[in-house]
Structure 1
Amino acid sequence: MKFNKTRNKVFGAIFIFIVVAAFFIMPTGYYLEVPGSAEDTSQFVKVDGKHDKKKGNLLLTTVGIVSGTPFTLLKSLGNNFETIYSQQDLMGDENSQEYFRVQQYYMKSATNNAVQAAYTKAGKPFTKKYLGVYVMDILDNSDFKKKLEIGDTITSINGYHFNNADQFIKYVRKQNKNSTVKISFTRDGKKKTASGKLVKLADTKRFGLGITLTDNTIAKGNPPTKINAGDIGGPSAGLMFTLQVYSQIANKDLKAGRTIAGTGTIAPDGTVGPIGGIEKKVYAASEQGATIFFAPDDPVTKEIKKYEPGYVNNYHLALNAAKKIHTKMKIVPVKNLNDAINYLEKTQQSK
């Protein structure tokens, strides 16, 4: 009898240990978006083979994505700088590997746009080379579902080479709906081919490959610029990379010894676009000691208000975040590259 009581206590202790351990470490299928890091862009950028050695910092900012456990999800409730997402909300139908590949494409696109915007502003020459169409998604009914992967770049179809995604789409539309097409593509630097039939595209009368695509290009400047962001993905570092590249190729000391952070996509013409998670990026920048933070001042149009009545633009979200953490960091609204450069040059003179 005594043995049974001892055994029950042991089993009970083991059970409690398993429950407690599960509370702290068991995945839930949910994720937390949290403040990430603020990284000096000079470490990622080389112009003419050299890093920027001027005093000060131009910081890109990130969010962190962590797997949610029962403990971390419960702890995040009421925290203004942690947001819970389901895997579907965060990644859609992509698995984690596909999601990472798409984020890497967004970063590559951002760095290409940064080169174009910076060189245009500095009046320096650059070239833009078309690589093909980048595969963003593959529909379940596509004949290429098991042949293509997200991240592949299609370079030709039936031997036809195209100069943009529109040409590719127009060529496919001209094909007989029952035809079989042969595509050439690259994956991880290796050339491959595949053949398949066209499929009916949902909610249309058209037939196609059944893929979501976008243009894949590379921009090269003179002097040469190389941007290697490592494992950082997404498009939101575009503005800060542009400022870093511009300061080097134009030989402008925009930093003047200051720690400057920011976020925002960049278009080749210098337009700055909104991003997600800006509150977490304000937090990360403040923690790193930034005194200036550039926030996209994206216009809130009637169309946006129609579909999302409660929409608040990036700049005002950043202002609210700064107030919550009582930071002295200046939140500066920017609509384009010129706004950021003009502000830095003006405040540099008034120091």
Structure 2
Amino acid sequence: MTAITDAPALPQLSRNLTTARLPKWAPAVVAVLSIALGCAIGAGTGLTSHIQWGLIAALLFLALSYGLSARIEGHRQAKDRFATSVIWVAFILAVVPLISLMVYTVQQGASVVDGNFLSHSMRNVVQSGPGGGIYHALIGTLEQVGLATAMAAPIGLLTAVYLVEYGRGRLAKVVTFFVDVMTGVPSIVAGLFVLSVWNILLGFAFSGFSGSLALAILMMPVVVRSTEEMLKLVPNELREASYALGVPKWKTILRIVLPTAIGGITTGVMLAVARIAGETAPVLMLVFGADAINTDPFNGPQQSLPLFIWQQYASVNNSFGYARAWGAALVLIAFVMGLNLIARGIARWRSPKAGH
């Protein structure tokens, strides 16, 4: 028998792909240095806008990050760091305006929002004087958005189920086309359509329900698109297993598909609600607004938060109206933010868990 000799050992690969690497704290140091240089250049050249200072700092951060990485790590790693730096700069440029808006709204409206502001209307309150509140606008917003959701959510859900589960022919293509078109319809066009058909052609009076019809038109394509994407994520294996057990298709959709995608569907509906909660144009055309409390959305004008903000801020040289407008804006932002947090919570709660 011949002796089996050991195979020659393969050479060990080096762990370091480059001769040198920047430390982990280098990007932070470069960012601080870029901000300092940007402020110095902006102040030295007489630039009064802090936005210009920030743009200069961003360009310096990109240039310094690439130059330092190219000198130490090589051009290949420098390109990777440059792409990462561009992403961070884009993220900051997107977040800074949002944070600034939130901070400024809180600064302007926090002093107005209290129990009296939330529990009183503008009835018998002089626009140029103190007092008043948004209770009537809160009721109007909740009722109008609630009615729009009650109309748009079921129709949008059933439309998405048809497109995903049944739609294979020309009708499905036509429905998909019109859903795409409706997604980009401006809110003023939806309000004008409801005004022409519901109020002028059919002769119904202006009311909160008229505004809800326009809001439902704006909400429906968002619900259809989000629900359609969630239904497509349901594994086909679940459907096939149900069909193999002899379960009919309609019951498979009702018992298997919809419960599996309910978390994403609910999230899409909540985001659509948040999208229509701040619409002003349809409400201005169809609801008109009112200073008194009107709990009947089917009879008479009704107020809403976006319309209330516009009316109060439209008062010329009226500090009390400005304060009420910023207070209502703060409440509206808190309402929309709450809906988004609820949607995220539902999505996390209903998302599939590992091992289940």
TM-score normalised to structure 1 length: 0.25
Q: Greater helix percent: which structure? A: 2
Q: Greater strand percent: which structure? A: 1
Structure ID, larger Rg: 2
TM-score normalised to structure 2 length: 0.25
